[in-house]
Structure 1
Amino acid sequence: MVDVSHYANHEYKDFINRGILRNMVLPHRTGLGAYAKAQPVDWFYFQAAAIDSQSRDRRTGFDTAFHDEALFLGMWEMGFTPKWATAKGALPGRYRLGWWYDPRSHKVFKDTLDGRLRDEFRGDDVGLYLGIDQMVWKEQDDPKDSQGLGAFGRWGWAHEDINKIDDYWEFGLSYTGLVPTRDQDVTAFAVAQGILSEQYREEVHEDASRETVFEFYYKYFATPWLIISPDFQVVVNPGGDKGAHDSIVGGVRIQVLF
Structure 2
Amino acid sequence: MGKNWILGAVFVAIIASATTARADPPTVTDPTKPAPPAALDKPKDAPPSPWSFTAAYTADLLDNATGGRAEGGGYADLLKFSAAYDGSAEGHDGLSGLISVTNTLGSAFTANRVGAVQSVSANEAQPRAAHLYEAWLQQDFFGGKGAVKAGIIDLNTTFDVQETAALFLNASDGAGADLGDTGLNGPSIYPIPALGATFVYRPTEDWTAQIGVFDGEAGDPAHRSAFLAVRLDGALLVGQIERRFGDTARLEAGAWTYTASFPSLTSFTASGAARTVHGNMGVYGLAEGGLMQSDSGKSLSGWVRLGFANGDINVVEDYLAGGLVYTGLVKGRDKDEVGIALNRAGLGAGARETGLLQGRSIGDAETTVEATYRYVVNDWLNLQPDMQYVIHPHGDRSVPDALVLGLRVALTYTK
The answer, yes or no, to whether TM exceeds 0.5 is yes
Q: What residue number does 1:25 align with?
A: 178
Q: CA deviation at 1:56?
A: 3.0
Partner residue of 2:367 out of 206, 212, 217: 212
| 1:101-136 Cα deviation digits (max 9, x unpaired) | 1122211223759x6445321123221000111101
Please say if residues 32 and 61 of structure 1, whose CA atoms lie closer than 8 Å, have aligned partners that are also in contact. no
Partner residue of 2:387 out of 218, 227, 232: 232
Q: Please tell me whether residue 4 in structure 1 is matched to residue 161 in structure 2.
A: yes
Which is worse superposed, 233-242 or 163-172?
233-242
Partner residue of 1:192 out of 329, 334, 343: 343
In 1, the alpha carbon distance for the partners of 2:406 and 2:274 equals 43
Q: Give the alignment's Cα RMSD to 1 decimal.
A: 2.2
Q: Please tell me whether residue 95 in structure 1 is matched to residue 258 in structure 2.
A: no
Which is worse superposed, 93-102 or 153-162?
153-162
Write the letter of the residue equivalent to 2:362: A
Aligned ranges for residues 1-258 of structure 1 at < 5 Å?
A: 1-9=158-166, 14-26=167-179, 27=182, 28-29=187-188, 30-57=193-220, 58=223, 63-65=230-232, 71-83=234-246, 92-110=248-266, 116-140=271-295, 145=297, 147-201=298-352, 203-206=353-356, 207-209=361-363, 210-258=365-413
| Partner-residue secondary structure (3-state), 1:205 | helix
TM-score normalised over the length of structure 1? 0.84
In structure 1, stretches of 5+ residues that fail to align are: 84-90
| 1:124-159 Cα deviation digits (max 9, x unpaired) | 322100011110110128xxx4x3000111111012
Aligned residues, how many?
Answer: 237
Q: CA deviation at 1:36?
A: 1.7
Distance verdict in 2 for CA 1:5–1:54, change over 3 Å: closer
Please say if residues 284 and 308 of structure 2, whose CA atoms lie closer than 8 Å, have aligned partners that are also in contact. yes
Please say if residues 328 and 335 of structure 2, whose CA atoms lie closer than 8 Å, have aligned partners that are also in contact. yes
Which is worse superposed, 115-124 or 101-110?
115-124
Write the letter of the residue equivalent to 1:42: E
Write the letter of the residue equivalent to 2:327: T
In 1, the alpha carbon distance for the partners of 2:201 and 2:228 equals 26
In structure 2, stretches of 5+ residues that fail to align are: 1-157
Q: CA deviation at 1:62?
A: 8.0
Write the letter of the residue equivalent to 1:99: A
Please say if residues 39 and 46 of structure 1, whose CA atoms lie closer than 8 Å, have aligned partners that are also in contact. yes
Please say if residues 219 and 230 of structure 2, whose CA atoms lie closer than 8 Å, have aligned partners that are also in contact. no
Q: Counting helix residues as a fraction of each chain, which structure ranks higher? A: 2
Write the letter of the residue equivalent to 2:231: T
Write the letter of the residue equivalent to 1:8: A
TM-score normalised over the length of structure 2? 0.53
Report % sequence identity.
26
Write the letter of the residue equivalent to 2:355: H
Q: CA deviation at 1:51?
A: 0.5
| 1:193-240 Cα deviation digits (max 9, x unpaired) | 101013432x32223321111111111112233221111111111122
Write the letter of the residue equivalent to 1:164: V
Which is worse superposed, 203-212 or 166-175?
203-212
Distance verdict in 2 for CA 1:226–1:109, change over 3 Å: closer
Which is worse superposed, 52-61 or 182-191?
52-61
| Partner-residue secondary structure (3-state), 1:230 | strand
Structure showing greater relative contact order (alpha-carbon pairs closer than 8 Å, 6 or more residues apart): 2
